Amino acid sequence: MALENLAIAFPDQSTAARQRLCRASFRHLGMTLVESALLLVADPGIMLSRVSVDGLEHLRAAAGTPGGILLLTGHFGNWELLGLAHILAGLPLAVVVRPLDSPLLNRLAERLRARTGAELIAKRRALPAVVDALRRGRMIGILLDQNASRAEGVFVPFFGRPTSTSRSLALLSLRTGRPIVPVFIHREPDGRHRIVVEAALGPPAAGSPDAAVVELTAQCAQRTEATIRRWPEQWFWLHRRWRTRPSAS
């Protein structure tokens, strides 16, 4: 699956180059699993000591008006550690999560996420809880890099092909007036982690609500793709990102 995804994302690379990238992604995933296991038992402060943040001024700017902030992120770097790092920003965090298919793994994930101090919001029927959390000044983290069903998503460019992407983050931003701030964490060569907070997405220029949703979702996909292209071995390639395809016309 990972090699199939890499062939879609990097068609100009040789098979050998994609195989090397695949191996590097599995090494990164292995380190992430070990770090996540440590986070279950170790002092969270020890893990935080290995994390630095660039771009906090973008969060401060977005927090300058009443209400919370919408965070765009994905299954990139050690995304579970990203949940803990809200402590460094000094702003409370809530994360929209989907229960894992395996009950055992889901219990472990819930334990792990509870240790980060972030508020957890179940993805199913999340809108009222998200709106309430925004009113309470929370940052709302939404991972927007996985396949969306035809009913949930809109097709926007991602690695050169139309890709079904959840419209949820764009809808929330348009309905609440809150900005979308991209935030991604990556592993550095020395094993430390760096969080990069980017400038908030610009307001859509489109006139109609539907077109505005597509435009904002496309911006989200562009920011996500740019991060993956910079550190491709740190994305979670074990997911059928391009499973939902546009209808044949």
Domain boundaries, the chain: 45-232
Percent of the chain predicted with pLDDT > 90: 64
| Tokens, residue 219 | 């911006």
| Tokens, residue 59 | 């969060």
Q: Return the pLDDT at 249.
A: 54
Write out the H or E segment, with its range, that includes residue 38.
helix 15-41
Q: Rounded mean pLDDT of the chain?
A: 91
Cα 22–26–31 angle (5° rounding)? 150
Distance (Å, rounded) from C-alpha 178 to C-alpha 65?
A: 9
> Among 192, 169, 189, 183, which residue's Cα sits nearest to residue 55?
183
pLDDT digits (tens, 9 = 90+) for 107-153: 877 777 777 778 888 877 788 888 899 999 899 999 999 999 999 99
Per the CB < 8 A criterion, the answer to whether 39 and 112 are in contact is: yes
Residue matched to tokens 């765009």:
72
| CA end-to-end span of the chain | 28
Percent of the chain predicted with pLDDT > 70: 99
| Alpha-carbon dihedral 194, 169, 181, 94, rounded to 10 degrees | -60
Q: Is the model more confident about 95 or about 234?
A: 234
